[in-house]
């Protein structure tokens, strides 16, 4: 069995371990970086993730993965946060981000724009209200959630 197949077969168990620690699973990926294989498990909580929680998740995942891994591939397990520009995975994440600076990409260009960065002011009936700066002028746009390709928190410069 290949590592990717093994990881896919354990996704629900990985997610259960993350939930037991009061966190949300954002992503599981298997990548090669600097000549090393890395199994990256990205987790977070509503208030951010702390090192102790990452360690607890890592310890529990290590037991699961080491007991049942039948592959010969060696890898490093990296349990980490999604970072300052974390993706907003669903409408609940978006609602929790009201008042934050966000960046999103449209499915289809809108008003001549492919993407927008701005302040998320409100979410009503799955429609986002975003205030953004276009060439020195502040504008407000209302965008249905289903017209957004990707959305994340952003750092304002």
Query: What integer pLDDT is reported at residue 69 of this predicted model?
Result: 66
Average pLDDT over residues 135-148: 95
Average pLDDT over residues 6-33: 91
Q: Kindly indicate the confidence band of residue 2, based on its pLDDT and cuts at 50, 70 and 90.
A: low
What is the C-alpha separation between 126 and 74, in angstroms, rounded? 44
Give CA 76 to chain center in angstroms: 20
Chain-wide mean pLDDT for the chain? 91
pLDDT tens track for 62-114:
998 888 766 677 889 999 999 999 999 899 999 999 999 999 999 999 988 99
CATH architecture, range 3-80: 2-Layer Sandwich (3.30)
Contact (Cβ atoms closer than 8 angstroms) between residue 79 and residue 41: yes
Q: Is the pLDDT score of 1 beyond 60?
A: no
Query: What integer pLDDT is reported at residue 96 of this predicted model?
Result: 92
Query: What integer pLDDT is reported at residue 147 of this predicted model?
Result: 96
Q: Where are the domains of the chain?
A: 3-80, 91-153
Superfamily holding 91-153: Ribosome maturation factor RimP, C-terminal domain (2.30.30.180)
Contact (Cβ atoms closer than 8 angstroms) between residue 66 and residue 41: no
């Amino acid at each position: 069995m290949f590592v990717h197949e093994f990881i896919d077969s354990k996704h629900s168990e990985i997610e259960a371990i993350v939930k037991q620690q009061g966190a949300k699973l954002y992503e599981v990926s298997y990548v090669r970086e600097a000549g090393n294989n890395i199994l990256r498990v990205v987790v977070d909580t509503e208030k951010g993730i702390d090192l102790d929680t990452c360690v607890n998740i890592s310890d529990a995942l290590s037991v699961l993965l080491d007991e049942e891994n039948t592959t010969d591939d060696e890898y490093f397990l990296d349990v980490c946060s999604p970072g300052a520009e974390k993706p907003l995975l669903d409408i609940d994440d978006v609602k929790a981000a009201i008042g934050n600076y966000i960046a999103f990409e449209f499915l289809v260009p809108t008003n001549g724009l492919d993407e927008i960065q701005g302040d998320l002011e409100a979410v009503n009936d799955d429609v986002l209200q975003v205030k953004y700066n276009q060439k020195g002028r502040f504008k407000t746009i209302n965008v249905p959630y289903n017209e957004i390709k990707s959305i994340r928190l952003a750092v304002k410069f």
